[in-house]
Amino acid sequence: MHASPSYVHGAHELPLIGETIGPFLARIAATHGDNEALVVPHQNVRWNYREFDTRVSRLAAGLLALGLRPGDRVGIWSQNCAEWVLVQFATARAGLIMVNINPAYRRSELEYVLEKVGCAALILAPAFKSSDYLAIVNDVVPELRSSAPGRLQSARLPQLRHVIRLGADTSPGMHNFDVLPVPEGDPRLTQLAELEASLQFDDPVNIQFTSGTTGAPKGATLTHHNILNNGFFVGEAMKLSSHDRLCIPVPLYHCFGMVLGNLACVTHGATMVFPGESFEPKSVLETVQAERCTGLHGVPTMFITLLDHPDFAQYDLSTLRTGIMAGSPCPAEVMGRVIEKMHLGEITIAYGMTETSPVSFQSSVDDPVHLRVSTIGRVHPHLEVKIVDADGRIVPRGVKGELLTRGYSVMLGYWGDEEKTRETIDAARWMHTGDLAVIDDAGFATIVGRAKDMVIRGGENIYPREIEEFLYRHPKILDVQCVGVPDAKYGEELCACIVLRPGMEASEDEIREFCKGQIAHYKIPRHVRFVTSFPMTVTGKIQKYLLRQQVTTELGLGLTP
């Protein structure tokens, strides 16, 4: 008797949703109109579904009134806030494509993204943490200062016509976000409804940038069908209902916040609760208690920080029931503490990637605890997964290989990059994840390694090649290799191993200074080692795993991850 093959299919009695996001939201608002949709305490926002739906329509009509047309790309560069959520649903309703821009991005990354997808509009916060967004955008688009709002003509970014800022102050050349929504009863709302009826669920609605192993970030293009259904089935796995209130401290620019958070809630008439602009443990604990949240999302690092907070025991978290831990491998010990000490008896683990909208595996609230802490659960509804060997052949259950996903969740492709799309999605529409996994006889999967060298720092994916490409620009650097080394807080940190040009000298601080303001802070190498050479194979290939072991030992960081 042959072992059964590592192929699973999420057959399911609930059909896929066959509509776009806008009409779906309208139906939820009609059913759950009085239920709270969005609660953002630090902004004094508390909107029920009826009001939220109305605000979404008024903003959608306002964006179209600027002259934006279905298919135009609208970038959003901001921390978590009520406006971000409005933009997510208003762009969908207007047929626009929202482009998520990481709040940690700096000048070169912002410019790259705006140019790559040809953004017609950029919505931005004035500042966040140490970043002065207004200064950065004026540096990228110097013509802005002397333009009338909506009349921008940039030599570098010819498609960018509108820059829209959040907040009460005004800035030269920019619209103010708060004046965009059309008034209630405006005839343009009727035109919006007509346009909305013509949209198709396979239309692109969102572009999410994911750092590529080849350096520059790639724009995964996702449709209404992709993310609406994924959000719905994520909510189903958590048994969400209109009585649930989900605390969302994970970033919105990431699928975790906008799909597993916002769309999981909206598809179930549940309440989205935002504890702050970014993760801050005290505000999460306070918000869960004050808002009586029933769910909480986070990457493992976040849960560790909450459990270790000095005032943890003073908060009443007894309303919690469910949530999702995802973003990087979840240590079983942490999962156990979360279930026991945070009342999260029905917490689930999810696995996926941006390119698959994102979730393809998730544990269920009623799976036995030992399977919930040790696996990523079973395949998601309506998706197919197979595990293949190096030749692309399906392996038997219990044998490790690369995880491939196929189905409604697979992205349209990388924006403007057919070659990279073809490398990732094969002729039979299988998405190659690059992750190594094992599926057991009961269909539970475990991720056993990462293809290649990606570093996961506190839930953020860092692709060493991108950082290497950037560091090669430094005049003193001859050669550079970046590897992940173990870290107690973030799981992994980046270490840059640098060969300097002959006769040159440099310090660790000088290298880090070179990165500041150019690449996101989490990508700046925490450790810098100066070396004379790298371990090589006979054919001249650099052996990264040996390099990783070497620097881990030198830095006294114990075992390799």
Residue 214 pLDDT: 46
pTM of the entire predicted model: 0.86
Q: Are residues 460 and 337 in the same domain?
A: no
Tell me the two tokens of residue 476. 């003193």
Cβ pair 323, 348 in contact under 8 A: yes
What are the pLDDT digits (tens) for 202-243?
Answer: 999 999 998 644 467 899 999 999 999 999 999 999 999 999
User: Residue 153 falls within a domain, yes or no?
Assistant: yes
- pLDDT over threshold 60, residue 152: yes
User: Residue 433 falls within a domain, yes or no?
Assistant: no
What are the pLDDT digits (tens) for 456-501?
Answer: 899 887 878 778 878 988 999 988 999 999 998 999 999 999 999 8
Phi-psi region of 167 (alpha: psi -120 to 50; beta: other; left: phi over 0): left
Residue ending a domain, among 313, 341, 369, is 341
The mean predicted confidence, pLDDT, of the chain is: 93
- pLDDT over threshold 60, residue 399: yes
Q: Are residues 127 and 274 in the same domain?
A: yes
Cis preceding linkage at 358, omega within 30: yes
Please compute the mean of the pLDDT values over residues 188-211 and round it to a whole number.
Answer: 95
C-beta atoms surrounding 295 within 10 Å: 30
- Rounded distance, CA 339 to CA 287, Å? 19
The number of residues making up the chain comes to 561
- pLDDT over threshold 70, residue 24: yes
Cβ pair 194, 203 in contact under 8 A: no
Task: Tally the domains of the chain.
Answer: 2
Q: What is the CATH number of the domain that holds 538?
A: 3.30.300.30
Residue 455 pLDDT: 86
Residue numbers of the domain that contains 153: 21-341
- Nearest 5°: phi and psi at 427? -60, -25
Residue 82 corresponds to which amino acid? A
Tell me the two tokens of residue 189. 């709302």
Residue 137 pLDDT: 98
Q: What is the CATH number of the domain that holds 105?
A: 3.40.50.12780
Q: How confident is the model at residue 155 (pLDDT cuts 50, 70, 90)?
A: very high
Q: How confident is the model at residue 341 (pLDDT cuts 50, 70, 90)?
A: very high
- Rounded distance, CA 295 to CA 287, Å? 11
CA dihedral (414, 252, 29, 360) positive or negative: positive
Residue 561 pLDDT: 43
Residue 243 pLDDT: 98
Q: Do strands 162-165 and 175-176 pair parallel, antiparallel, or not at all (unpaired)? A: parallel
Alpha helices in 123-266 (DSSP H): 133-140, 188-198, 224-237, 255, 264-266
- pLDDT over threshold 80, residue 272: yes
Residue ending a domain, among 291, 312, 341, is 341
Q: Are residues 335 and 475 in the same domain?
A: no
Q: Are residues 471 and 328 in the same domain?
A: no
Please compute the mean of the pLDDT values over residues 108-115 and round it to a whole number.
Answer: 94
Please compute the mean of the pLDDT values over residues 37-46 and round it to a whole number.
Answer: 98
- Nearest 5°: phi and psi at 222? -115, 145
- Rounded distance, CA 345 to CA 365, Å? 8
User: Residue 376 falls within a domain, yes or no?
Assistant: no
Q: Are residues 247 and 108 in the same domain?
A: yes
User: Residue 302 falls within a domain, yes or no?
Assistant: yes
Q: How confident is the model at residue 537 (pLDDT cuts 50, 70, 90)?
A: low
Residue ending a domain, among 298, 321, 341, is 341
Q: Are residues 115 and 250 in the same domain?
A: yes
User: Residue 349 falls within a domain, yes or no?
Assistant: no
User: Residue 4 falls within a domain, yes or no?
Assistant: no
User: Residue 436 falls within a domain, yes or no?
Assistant: no
Place of tokens 């762009």: 91
Residue 447 pLDDT: 85
Residue 112 pLDDT: 94
DSSP character for 148? P
User: Residue 57 falls within a domain, yes or no?
Assistant: yes
What are the pLDDT digits (tens) for 407-440?
Answer: 999 999 999 999 999 999 999 999 999 888 999 9
Cβ pair 306, 342 in contact under 8 A: yes
Q: Are residues 116 and 243 in the same domain?
A: yes
Please compute the mean of the pLDDT values over residues 280-304 and round it to a whole number.
Answer: 95
Q: Do strands 7-9 and 271-273 pair parallel, antiparallel, or not at all (unpaired)? A: unpaired
Residue 213 pLDDT: 41
Q: Are residues 336 and 479 in the same domain?
A: no
- Rounded distance, CA 285 to CA 283, Å? 6
